[in-house]
Amino acid sequence: MANTFKVKVNGGPELAVDATEGTLLEALEKHQLEMHYHCRSGFCGACRSTLKSGTVRYTTEPLAYVRKGDILPCCCVPESDLDIEH
Partner 1 sequence: MSYSTFNQEQNNPLTEPMFLGNSVNVARYDQQKHSIFEKLIEKQISFFWRPEEIDVSRDRIDFNKLTASEKHVFISNLKYQTLLDSIQGRSPNIALLPIVSLPELETWIETWSFFETIHSRSYTHILRNLFSDPSEVFEDIVINEQIKIRANDISKYYDDLIFYTQLLQTHGEGDIVVDGKTYTVTQREIKKKLFLCINSVNALEAIRFYVSFACTFAFAERELMEGNAKIIKLIARDENVHLTSTQHILNLWQYGEDDPEMKEIAEELRGDAYEIFMTAVKQEKQWAHYLFKDGSMIGLNESMLCQYVEYIANLRMQAIGFDAPFENQRSNPLPWMNKYLVSDNVQVAPQESEITSYLVGQIDSEVNASDLGDFDL
Q: Which positions lie near partner 1, rule CB under 8 A?
A: 34, 36-41, 43-46, 48, 61, 63-65, 67-68
| C-beta closer to partner 1: residue 43 or 81 | 43
Buried-state track 2-21, b at ≥16 Cβ within 10 A, e below 16: eeebebbbeeeeebebebee
In angstroms, give the least distance from the CB of 74 to partner 1: 10
Q: Least distance (Å) from partner 1 to the CB of residue 1?
A: 28
Question: At closest approach, how far in Å is the CB of 45 from partner 1?
Answer: 5
Instruction: For CA atoms 65, 40, 69, 10, give the dihedral sign.
Output: positive
Q: Output 15 or 63, the one with its CB closest to partner 1.
A: 63
* Residue whose CB is less far from partner 1, 2 or 65: 65
